Amino acid sequence: MSERYERQAWGRRRDTPYAPRIRGKVCIACGAPAANHHHVLGAQHLRRWAHEQRGWGRKERPYKTQAVLKDDRNLVPMCFPCHMDHEAWAKRLTRDQVPASTWEFARELGEWAVVRLERDYPVRGDTAGAAGAHGA
């Protein structure tokens, strides 16, 4: 196994809790071996949503937040180059590449999550969709 695959760009080892779940999977964008998971709904948005939840006690909030962040329905395997292109808004995933389970997950969270997916993931061939929404 190559050193690049074993370590991510910032030098952390791949012995995170996600490492066993990513082995053997392929990138949803190009089909190369996957190096990491991508949160389709961004982790920062999920943390904000979890922070705003009423009825979650102070002791249980961290555990429920982690459960939402680690939900497999919101994680897709990607190779490192495709993930960096996606995060840099250079080459975005399209709406048809987002799994149906992610749309189900978004509907469970609320309308804000569905709107976020529609905003961040353009329809194939719509070049102005996500690029125009970046930073909005």
> In terms of C-beta density within 10 A (0-12 exposed, 13-18 middle, 19 or more buried), how is residue 114 classed?
middle
pLDDT of residue 9: 46
pTM value surpassing 0.95: no
Report the DSSP beta bridge partners of residue 76: 38
* 88-108 pLDDT, tens digit each: 989 999 999 999 999 999 999
Q: What is the pLDDT of residues 32-84, one digit of tens each?
A: 999 889 999 999 999 999 888 877 777 888 888 899 999 999 999 999 999 99
Predicted local distance difference test score (pLDDT) of residue 83: 93
Helices (H) and strands (E) in the chain, counts: 8, 2
pLDDT of residue 20: 63
Q: Is the pLDDT of residue 122 over 80?
A: yes
Q: Which residues form the domain of 16?
A: 3-133
- Domains: count for the chain: 1
Return the bridge partners of 2, or none: none
The confidence score (pLDDT) of residue 1 equals: 43
Confidence of residue 13 (pLDDT cuts 50, 70, 90): very low
> Which pLDDT score is estimated for 117?
95
Q: For residue 134, give the 3-state DSSP assignment.
A: coil
